[in-house]
Structure 1
Amino acid sequence: MFFSSRVSYYRRVRNTIIAAFGFGLAAVYAHAQSFSGDRQRQVPTSQAQMDLSFAPLVRDASPAVVNVYTKKVVQTRDIMRDIFGRRFSTGQGTRQRVQNSLGSGVIVSSDGVIVTNNHVIDGADEFLVVLSDRREYPAELVLADERTDLAVMKIDIGDEALPALEFADTTGVAVGDLVLAIGNPFGVGQTVTSGIISATARTDVGVSDYAFFLQTDAAVNPGNSGGALINTAGQLVGVNTAIFSRSGGSNGIGFAIPSEMVKRVVDAAVNEGMIVRPWLGLKAQAVTFDIAQSQGLDRPVGVIVSEVYDNAPADRAGLRRGDLITSIEGREVFDETGLKFLAATRSPGDLVPLTVIRGGEERVILVRLEPPPGAKDAERLLLDGRHPFSGAEVAQLSPRLAEELGRDPFETGILVTRIQRGAYAWRLIRPGDVILSIDDRPVLTLAELEAALGRGRGRWLIELERNGRRVRGRVNF
């Protein structure tokens, strides 16, 4: 009797919970349907819908995800001899060792164009692509872009048309969207994990210079780098790139490069063989809550223009210091990194609208994007003669060179690019230093540097910038 009453009690509790759960689902469903823009995003309302499978989607998409194997020949030296001298040598001298690594890639064109992460192939000498059906092909590196951490490769498959993923429109990606991650974690074989978009426009990840990542809780592990993040339409939403983890395994915080940037890099690789990123020609800082209030905004959004490069696209379009840029092409920005990323997804020559607040009034300013000024291949000069910079190779800083090196495009001066072994210049300068002035005269060009060194007569007052700090001193030679 006691047992029967307990069963009856638990059944009533169970039915109450099921009814409440069903009511909650119905309420969420009705709430979701109240937004006209979300009519295609529906919360499951029945067990039948919960039992739906991603298998058909995976079956169609997974053949477009490949394994990428790389080989790198590494020179190893006799450490005992280097430290203790010839008497303690192991007798093996310099040896070569092959270093292998593994990642994933995505076929984005049926003729064999594959995109992966730059860190997967960085420094490698040979590339091997293994398709989902285990066929192997040597791959040619078409373009490696360290700034976005993307690389484009090509395999020769003759007249065969390979399965390829089409790019999704990531401007419409929303937090909560279902996604699948496909790759080869830890080399165990092709693996599919599921999750949602946890966040968009992550700019503080610190993985690449053009950071604007999609965050997902789909399990991403070492080996997934370069693999696909797809939506429920089987389109490529992003390329899995990084995780936040203390252990090295997935903690549910993965990051993918949005397909809009992936498409830009692939198009540049295939059509031009190189990527030229457009720029706006301005510096900006994030809007704080106090700044937002002073501008009449109800929340912090946008960036404040702090500097405009002379005759740059922003300057010619009429942007000024103090302007508040809230969006580019209708997409909100919250820091300079996001603004730079969205501009970089376009091509030089494109006309983009910026929404700007100036003097409390909102306006739209059209800016025609251009490549940063400067030579495509900066002229480098190897200094020689009786002066303290002898043996140093230098180049004149320009926005274009700064962009290629990931430096501030507003920097001026002469950049030390490398120094010959044993050169006198090692006593004074290091690669990466910027020579700002000699004898209190600014040095902006290679000709001005050579002239200043020729005037010294054995004594120079030199000002450098090293790691963000200015160093000034007198040198006798």
Structure 2
Amino acid sequence: MRFIPAILSALILCATSPMVQADSKVVPGSSAVMQLSFAPVVKKTAPAVVNVYSQRKLVEDQSKSGLMEDPFFRRFFGDGGSFGRPRERVASSLGSGVIVDPNGLIVTNNHVIANATDIKVALADKREFEAKVLIADERTDLAVLKIEVPDEQLPALALADSDALEVGDLVLAIGNPFGVGQTVTSGIISALARTRVGVSDYQFFIQTDAAINPGNSGGALVNMNGELVGINTAIFSRSGGSIGIGFAIPTNMVKTVVATAETGGAAIKRPWLGAELQDVSPDIATSLGMARPEGALIVNLHPESPLAKAGLKRGDIVLALEGKPVETAQELGYRSATTAIGATIIVEYQRKGDRKETQMTMIAAPETVARDDTVIKGPNPLSGATLTNLSPAVAEELSLPAELQGVVISKIEKGPAMRFFKRGDVVLDLNGSKIDNVDTLKAALADERNMWRIAINRGGRVLKLAIGG
């Protein structure tokens, strides 16, 4: 217990230091403070950080290899020889995870276990267990695993309120970089609400200068209270190693995924805004008489949108949810995504220069029309694709604008469709017939042709295809 007197003496020295601030957060003011250690925090948190090993099968098409492009080798093996046949191989990957429930619930990154056929978790004491995937969510890049450890309560980390973080707060990153074994690095919160990281749909990350490297993905970012504040997920690096710019998913997003897993859900039900939003640029702020650019401008609203039902209109600027400022459209998406469905929250907004306030009840995206999922077959370019009637719920799942209507390609597994189309393409017209639901599409496909003329909406652009049949 020699550590405690050292802390007490350090606090006394800090209390007399002119650098003490009004709140409880202080900068080092003496040599005694500089000699303090992170060891107690590490001892408390490190046992809850695990290694995640995953294996996946990859099929290699050897007919496309450099050898088979050489006429010399083709002469011996031929076009249809065994050398040219697809061959399976097993690829392994290593990441980290965090135990968030003593009964064996583990959070990691989705990209660590994506498409895995076998997943093992190694605890800090080197015991290994088979893991089952409860949730794998590509949009948040989070996954929840479950291991069975009978008659034992595992060490678990409490989830802190990530909104309470401030730039400059001390944090530790714990994981298994490069597979060398569990490693702890220290740093500070470099920035909050980082966007354009390109890891998940919800671009809202904690940035830290604590060293994060390959293998750290899914590991813990903890505060000085030994609480989880983020899941380490990405680095910014041209060399592949840490250069002091790492990103973590905030725990307030992690909580929504864990809550779904704890209730037995296989898919995450997200709150839905039903709005097309835009950042407020300096020019827009000036034209609207705003002191500075802030908030999310409402460009379009779906009739069923909770914002519309709360009284907001096109042209309004959302400034805060539940007292938490909204600086950008992406931040509004994050704030809403970390709110429970059914919760009633206070929305602050600006309309024609006046700041107003109202209440909004969060809802899930509604299914206004039946999905009517249909796998297309037969001699046509869409063969192999699954077509689905668009509704706000389907649009939300596919990350499409809420106002889109008609028929969307929700899945492509095989067939000619793989050559011409992508998941999320909206079919607008087929051989001159306007496509407004799956039934009209099937009717248009019934007329076999040698040439198919198809118009689709892909990412807001209308593409017109002429495909020979």
TM (norm. structure 1) is 0.86
Residue 262 of structure 1 deviates from its aligned partner by 0.5
**In the alignment, does 2:112 pair up with 1:120?**
yes
After superposition, what is the alpha-carbon deviation per residue over 1:408-450, rounded to whole angstroms, capped at 9, x for unaligned?
Answer: 3332222234567554x67865554321134666422112323
The question of whether the paired residues in 1 share the 8 Å contact of 2:102 and 2:154 is answered with: yes
Aligned counterpart for 2:52 among listed residues 68, 72, 80: 68
Q: Paired residue for 2:89?
A: 97
Residue 470 of structure 1 deviates from its aligned partner by 1.3
Q: Aligned partners of 1:444, 1:115: CA distance in 2, in Å?
A: 41
The question of whether the paired residues in 2 share the 8 Å contact of 1:351 and 1:368 is answered with: yes
Q: Paired residue for 2:43?
A: 59
Q: Aligned partners of 2:126, 2:369: CA distance in 1, in Å?
A: 41
Q: Aligned partners of 1:52, 1:426: CA distance in 2, in Å?
A: 59
Identify the range of structure 1 (143-152 vs 425-434) with the bigger mean alpha-carbon deviation. Answer: 425-434
AA aligned opposite 1:383: I
Aligned counterpart for 1:109 among listed residues 85, 101, 111: 101
The question of whether the paired residues in 2 share the 8 Å contact of 1:376 and 1:400 is answered with: no
The question of whether the paired residues in 1 share the 8 Å contact of 2:369 and 2:390 is answered with: no
After superposition, what is the alpha-carbon deviation per residue over 1:308-346, rounded to whole angstroms, capped at 9, x for unaligned?
Answer: 001221121111001011111111222222111111111
Q: Aligned partners of 1:159, 1:342: CA distance in 2, in Å?
A: 39
The question of whether the paired residues in 2 share the 8 Å contact of 1:111 and 1:162 is answered with: yes
Q: Paired residue for 1:8?
A: none
Q: Paired residue for 1:470?
A: 462
Aligned counterpart for 2:352 among listed residues 346, 350, 359: 359
Q: Paired residue for 2:162?
A: 170
After superposition, what is the alpha-carbon deviation per residue over 1:80-133, rounded to whole angstroms, capped at 9, x for unaligned?
Answer: 697548526465844432211100000000111000000000111111111111
Q: Paired residue for 1:229?
A: 221
Q: Aligned partners of 2:239, 2:202: CA distance in 1, in Å?
A: 26
Q: Aligned partners of 2:238, 2:379: CA distance in 1, in Å?
A: 52
After superposition, what is the alpha-carbon deviation per residue over 1:351-407, rounded to whole angstroms, capped at 9, x for unaligned?
Answer: 121110112211112111111122899432133567664554311222222222233
Using a 3 Å threshold, how does the CA distance of structure 1 residues 144 and 419 change in structure 2: closer, same or farther? closer
AA aligned opposite 1:45: G
Q: Aligned partners of 1:376, 1:141: CA distance in 2, in Å?
A: 31
The question of whether the paired residues in 2 share the 8 Å contact of 1:183 and 1:224 is answered with: yes
Q: Aligned partners of 1:68, 1:388: CA distance in 2, in Å?
A: 41
**In the alignment, does 2:31 pair up with 1:47?**
yes
Number of equivalent positions? 447
Instruction: Classify the secondary structure of the residue corresponding to 2:239.
Output: coil
Using a 3 Å threshold, how does the CA distance of structure 1 residues 184 and 305 change in structure 2: closer, same or farther? same
Q: Aligned partners of 2:450, 2:387: CA distance in 1, in Å?
A: 20
Q: Aligned partners of 1:440, 1:230: CA distance in 2, in Å?
A: 59
Q: Paired residue for 2:328?
A: 335
Using a 3 Å threshold, how does the CA distance of structure 1 residues 440 and 162 change in structure 2: closer, same or farther? same
After superposition, what is the alpha-carbon deviation per residue over 1:151-199, rounded to whole angstroms, capped at 9, x for unaligned?
Answer: 0001101121111100111121100100000111001111111010010
Residue 467 of structure 1 deviates from its aligned partner by 4.8
Instruction: Classify the secondary structure of the residue corresponding to 1:62.
Output: helix
Using a 3 Å threshold, how does the CA distance of structure 1 residues 473 and 187 change in structure 2: closer, same or farther? closer
Aligned counterpart for 1:309 among listed residues 282, 290, 302: 302
Instruction: Classify the secondary structure of the residue corresponding to 1:103.
Output: strand
Q: Paired residue for 1:344?
A: 337
Instruction: Classify the secondary structure of the residue corresponding to 1:291.
Output: helix
Aligned counterpart for 1:147 among listed residues 139, 151, 167: 139
**In the alignment, does 2:196 pair up with 1:204?**
yes
The question of whether the paired residues in 1 share the 8 Å contact of 2:398 and 2:424 is answered with: no
**In the alignment, does 2:225 pair up with 1:243?**
no
Using a 3 Å threshold, how does the CA distance of structure 1 residues 250 and 351 change in structure 2: closer, same or farther? same
Q: Aligned partners of 1:235, 1:376: CA distance in 2, in Å?
A: 44
Q: Which runs of 5+ in 2 are unaligned?
A: 1-12
Structure-to-structure mapping, 1:241-320, within 5 angstroms: 241-273=233-265, 274-320=267-313
Identify the range of structure 1 (379-388 vs 347-356) with the bigger mean alpha-carbon deviation. Answer: 379-388
Q: Aligned partners of 1:419, 1:116: CA distance in 2, in Å?
A: 28
AA aligned opposite 1:219: A
What is the root-mean-square deviation in Å for CA atoms of aligned residues? Answer: 2.9
Q: Paired residue for 1:18?
A: none
Identity between Structure 1 and Structure 2 (%):
47
Q: Paired residue for 1:381?
A: 374
Using a 3 Å threshold, how does the CA distance of structure 1 residues 472 and 322 change in structure 2: closer, same or farther? same
Q: Paired residue for 2:7?
A: none
Instruction: Classify the secondary structure of the residue corresponding to 2:272.
Output: coil
The question of whether the paired residues in 1 share the 8 Å contact of 2:400 and 2:424 is answered with: no
Q: Aligned partners of 2:198, 2:269: CA distance in 1, in Å?
A: 22
Using a 3 Å threshold, how does the CA distance of structure 1 residues 377 and 205 change in structure 2: closer, same or farther? farther
AA aligned opposite 2:388: A
Structure-to-structure mapping, 1:188-199, within 5 angstroms: 188-199=180-191
Identify the range of structure 1 (370-379 vs 155-164) with the bigger mean alpha-carbon deviation. Answer: 370-379
Using a 3 Å threshold, how does the CA distance of structure 1 residues 260 and 430 change in structure 2: closer, same or farther? closer
Q: Paired residue for 1:12?
A: none
Using a 3 Å threshold, how does the CA distance of structure 1 residues 376 and 95 change in structure 2: closer, same or farther? farther
Residue 300 of structure 1 deviates from its aligned partner by 1.0
Using a 3 Å threshold, how does the CA distance of structure 1 residues 199 and 377 change in structure 2: closer, same or farther? farther
The question of whether the paired residues in 2 share the 8 Å contact of 1:78 and 1:90 is answered with: no
The question of whether the paired residues in 2 share the 8 Å contact of 1:283 and 1:336 is answered with: no
Identify the range of structure 1 (97-106 vs 413-422) with the bigger mean alpha-carbon deviation. Answer: 413-422
AA aligned opposite 1:138: E
Q: Paired residue for 2:9?
A: none
Q: Aligned partners of 2:216, 2:281: CA distance in 1, in Å?
A: 37
Residue 78 of structure 1 deviates from its aligned partner by 3.5
Instruction: Classify the secondary structure of the residue corresponding to 1:463.
Output: strand
TM (norm. structure 2) is 0.87
AA aligned opposite 2:103: D
Instruction: Classify the secondary structure of the residue corresponding to 1:257.
Output: strand
Q: Paired residue for 1:19?
A: none
AA aligned opposite 1:253: I
Aligned counterpart for 1:134 among listed residues 116, 120, 126: 126
